Amino acid sequence: MYAGEDNPIQLGVNVGAFQGDRSGTEAYDEPLTREEVLAIASPFIA
């Protein structure tokens, strides 16, 4: 759903290399723009 979810780089470090790609990328919150937040939330808001 979120395009940046597969980003393994955090503070210039590839965190996916330490624990595996999925757990490394899901462990951090990426900053979102207003547009990105609305795109993610819009399916749940009616």
pLDDT value, residue 9: 80
Task: Look at residue 42 in the predicted model and tell me its pLDDT.
Answer: 92
Q: Is the pTM of this model over 0.85?
A: no
pLDDT score recorded for residue 24: 65
Give dist(CA 24, CA 16) in Å, integer.
Answer: 5
Residue 39 pLDDT > 70, yes or no? yes
- Dihedral over alpha carbons 35, 36, 38, 44 (to 10 degrees): 160
The residues spanned by each domain of the chain are: 3-44
